C-alpha cells in the first residue's frame, strides 16, 4: 500500500525576544469547518494560540468562514456538498436511524495532494465528517498524527453520540443509532475498517475531558494508543467580566429581572440539548422567581415557535460574533446547559471566563468545568425537578454572593486559558516528534 508524503522538516524551539517559547514545529490542523460548531471553534482557537506562541501552524477545512490566511479551504462548496451526499448514501438502508448522528467516512479525500503541498511536521485531526475524510487514509499517512476526540466517533462504529450504548467496547453491530438489529450492519463494517486502518497508523490521542479519556481508554479501537487530557482553550482576555447593565443595553435586553441564558446550535430542535427538560424545570421554579425570570435563548431562528414556559422569553436567533456572545454572558445571571451528552462544552468555559456561573446536568466532561456550588451547580442527568432546584438555588444567591463569579473566572483562567492550552499542545507535538529509540538486541 503506497504511503502519502511524510514529514520532512526539522523541528526546533527557542526563546523569542519577548521571552516566550518559540517553536518551528509546523502542525497542520484539520477540521471540516473553521467556525461552524463547537469542534470548529475549539480547533480554530487552538490555531490562533499556536501561532501566537510562534508556531507556523496552519489549518485545512472544507468550509471556511474566516478571513484567516492560515486557514486553507481545500475543496469547493459544490464538491463538498456532493461528497457529503455520497457519504451518507448507505444510511438510506436504515430508515429508522437517528438523524445527523452517523458518519460512514467512505468517500475519497484530498489529503494526499494537501500534504504534498503543505509538508507539515505532523497532522492534528479534529472533527471530520460530511464526506471530508476517509477512514482508510489514516493508514497511508507516514507521519505522526494527533487526534482530538471532540465526540465519540473516532472509537465508535460510526455514531457521534452513542448515548447509553456501550457496543464500542467490543465490535459494534446491531446499532441502536441506526435502529438496526443485525450484527453485521453498517456500524460493524465501519468498526472493522477503523480497526484495520488504525493498526497501521501513528496515532496520539487528545481528550478534552477526563470523561472522554475514560471512554477512549476502555474502547476496543483506541484503548492501546497513547492519550493526553488537554482541554479546549478559551481566550480569557476576550471572554472576560464586564458591566451587566451595559451589556443588556447593547443587546436591547431588559435592565430589570433575572436572565437565564440558554443556547447552542440547533438549541431547540436538537433533542440532545435538553430543551424539553428546561421547559419542565422553568415551570417548576417558585412562583415569585418565575415572575422576575427571563429566558434568553439563542442558536435557533427567532421565529421558531416556543411552548408556554411559565416565564418571559427573548429569542435572539443565531449569534456567531464573539463580541456579541461575550455581551450575552455579561448580561445574564445564570447559564443553563441541559445536554444529555457533552464532552467539554465551549459555552461553559466561555461563560465562566466572563464570570457567569452555570447550572448543568452532570453528564460527560461538564464536571471538569462546573465545581458544584462553587462555580455553578450540577443536577442529576435529565431530571427536570433537580434542574429546577439548582437553578432556583443559584438564582437566589448569585447577585448577593459575588464569590460565584470570581470562582468561575478563576477556574477558567487556571484550566482553560488558551495560552496554557497551546503550550500543552506544543509539548505534546515535541514529544510525538521525538525519534523512537531503536532497542539494541544482544546477539551473543
Range scoring the smallest mean pLDDT among 108-117, 133-142, 378-387, 419-428: 108-117
For strand 13-15 and strand 21-23, is the pairing parallel, antiparallel, or unpaired? antiparallel
State the Cα–Cα distance between residues 360 and 112, nearest whole angstrom.
43
Q: Do domains 13-233+419-433 and 244-416 have the same CATH topology?
A: yes
Supply φ then ψ for residue 330, to 5 degrees.
-70, -30
- 2 pLDDT more than 70: no
Give the architecture-level CATH label for domain 13-233+419-433. Answer: 3-Layer(aba) Sandwich (3.40)
Q: Which residues pair with 323 in a beta bridge?
A: none
**The predicted structure's pLDDT at residue 444:** 44
Cβ(157)–Cβ(190) below 8 Å: yes
- 374 pLDDT more than 60: yes
Range scoring the smallest mean pLDDT among 131-140, 143-152, 260-269: 260-269
pTM metric for this prediction: 0.89
In this prediction, residues 179-208 reach a mean pLDDT of: 96
**The predicted structure's pLDDT at residue 319:** 85
- 411 pLDDT more than 70: yes
State the Cα–Cα distance between residues 356 and 372, nearest whole angstrom.
14
Q: pLDDT tens digits for 303-361? A: 777 777 889 999 888 888 899 999 999 999 999 999 999 999 999 999 999 999 999 99
Task: Name the 3-class secondary structure at 60.
Answer: strand
**The predicted structure's pLDDT at residue 436:** 62
**The predicted structure's pLDDT at residue 250:** 95
Q: Which residue stretches of 136-274 are H helix?
A: 186-198, 210-218, 244-251
Of the candidates 28, 22, 29, 31, the one whose C-alpha atom is nearest the C-alpha of residue 55 is: 22
- 131 pLDDT more than 80: yes
**The predicted structure's pLDDT at residue 166:** 96
Distance between terminal CA atoms of the chain? Answer: 36
Cell match 454572558: residue? 329
In this prediction, residues 81-98 reach a mean pLDDT of: 93
DSSP E strands in 185-316: the ranges are 203-207, 227-229, 258-263, 293-298, 312-315
State the Cα–Cα distance between residues 252 and 220, nearest whole angstrom.
51
State the Cα–Cα distance between residues 305 and 206, nearest whole angstrom.
40
State the Cα–Cα distance between residues 437 and 156, nearest whole angstrom.
32
Which homologous superfamily does the CATH classification assign to the domain defined by 244-416?
A: Glycogen Phosphorylase B; (3.40.50.2000)
Cβ(230)–Cβ(341) below 8 Å: no
Output the average pLDDT for the chain. Answer: 90
The three cell numbers of residue 130 are 460530511
Cβ(146)–Cβ(428) below 8 Å: yes
Cβ(131)–Cβ(83) below 8 Å: yes
- 439 pLDDT more than 60: no
The three cell numbers of residue 221 are 479501537
The three cell numbers of residue 361 are 446536568
Give me the residue spans of the domains in the chain: 13-233+419-433, 244-416
Between 31 and 270, residue with greater pLDDT: 31
Give the CA-trace dihedral at 426, 431, 435, 440, to 10 degrees: 170
Of the candidates 153, 97, 104, the one whose C-alpha atom is nearest the C-alpha of residue 125 is: 153
Cβ(285)–Cβ(388) below 8 Å: yes
**The predicted structure's pLDDT at residue 443:** 45
State the Cα–Cα distance between residues 368 and 276, nearest whole angstrom.
25
Amino acid at each position: 500500500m503506497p504511503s502519502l508524503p511524510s514529514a520532512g522538516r526539522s523541528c526546533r524551539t527557542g526563546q523569542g525576544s519577548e521571552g516566550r517559547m518559540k517553536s518551528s514545529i509546523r502542525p497542520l490542523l484539520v477540521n471540516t469547518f473553521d467556525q461552524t460548531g463547537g469542534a470548529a471553534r475549539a480547533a480554530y482557537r487552538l490555531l490562533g494560540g499556536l501561532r501566537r506562541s510562534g508556531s507556523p501552524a496552519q489549518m485545512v477545512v472544507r468550509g471556511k468562514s474566516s478571513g484567516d490566511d492560515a486557514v486553507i479551504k481545500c475543496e469547493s462548496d459544490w464538491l463538498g456538498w456532493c461528497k457529503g451526499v455520497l457519504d451518507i448514501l448507505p444510511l438510506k438502508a436504515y430508515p429508522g436511524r437517528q438523524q445527523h448522528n452517523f458518519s460512514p467516512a467512505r468517500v475519497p479525500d484530498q489529503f494526499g495532494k494537501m500534504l504534498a503541498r503543505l509538508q507539515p511536521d505532523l497532522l492534528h485531526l479534529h472533527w471530520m465528517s460530511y464526506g471530508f475524510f476517509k477512514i482508510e487514509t489514516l493508514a497511508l499517512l507516514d507521519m505522526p498524527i494527533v487526534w482530538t476526540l471532540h465526540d465519540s466517533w473516532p472509537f465508535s462504529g460510526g455514531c457521534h453520540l452513542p448515548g447509553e450504548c456501550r457496543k464500542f467496547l467490543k465490535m459494534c453491530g446491531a446499532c441502536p443509532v441506526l435502529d438496526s438489529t443485525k450484527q453485521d450492519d453498517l456500524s460493524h463494517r465501519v468498526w472493522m475498517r477503523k480497526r484495520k486502518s488504525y493498526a497501521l497508523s501513528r496515532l496520539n490521542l487528545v481528550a478534552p475531558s477526563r470523561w472522554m479519556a475514560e471512554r477512549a481508554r476502555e474502547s476496543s479501537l483506541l484503548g492501546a494508543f497513547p492519550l493526553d487530557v488537554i482541554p479546549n482553550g478559551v481566550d480569557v482576555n476576550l471572554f472576560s467580566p464586564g458591566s451587566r447593565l451595559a451589556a443588556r443595553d447593547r443587546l436591547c435586553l431588559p435592565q430589570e429581572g433575572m436572565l437565564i441564558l440558554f443556547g447552542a446550535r440547533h438549541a431547540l430542535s436538537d433533542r440532545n440539548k435538553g430543551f424539553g427538560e428546561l421547559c419542565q424545570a422553568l415551570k417548576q421554579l417558585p412562583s415569585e422567581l418565575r415572575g422576575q425570570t427571563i429566558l434568553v435563548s439563542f442558536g435557533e431562528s427567532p421565529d421558531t415557535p416556543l411552548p408556554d414556559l411559565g416565564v418571559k422569553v427573548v429569542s435572539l436567533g443565531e449569534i456567531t460574533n464573539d463580541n456579541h456572545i461575550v455581551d450575552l454572558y455579561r448580561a445574564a445571571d445564570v447559564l443553563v446547559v441541559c445536554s444529555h451528552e457533552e464532552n467539554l462544552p465551549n459555552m461553559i468555559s466561555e461563560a465562566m471566563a466572563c464570570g457567569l456561573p452555570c447550572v448543568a446536568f452532570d453528564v460527560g466532561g461538564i464536571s471538569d468545568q462546573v465545581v458544584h456550588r462553587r462555580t455553578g451547580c450540577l443536577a442529576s442527568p435529565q431530571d427536570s425537578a433537580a434542574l429546577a432546584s439548582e437553578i432556583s438555588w443559584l438564582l437566589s444567591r448569585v447577585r448577593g454572593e459575588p464569590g460565584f463569579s470570581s470562582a468561575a473566572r478563576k477556574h477558567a483562567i487556571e484550566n482553560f486559558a488558551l495560552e496554557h492550552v497551546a503550550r500543552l499542545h506544543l509539548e505534546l507535538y515535541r514529544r510525538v516528534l521525538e525519534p523512537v529509540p531503536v532497542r539494541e538486541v544482544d546477539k551473543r
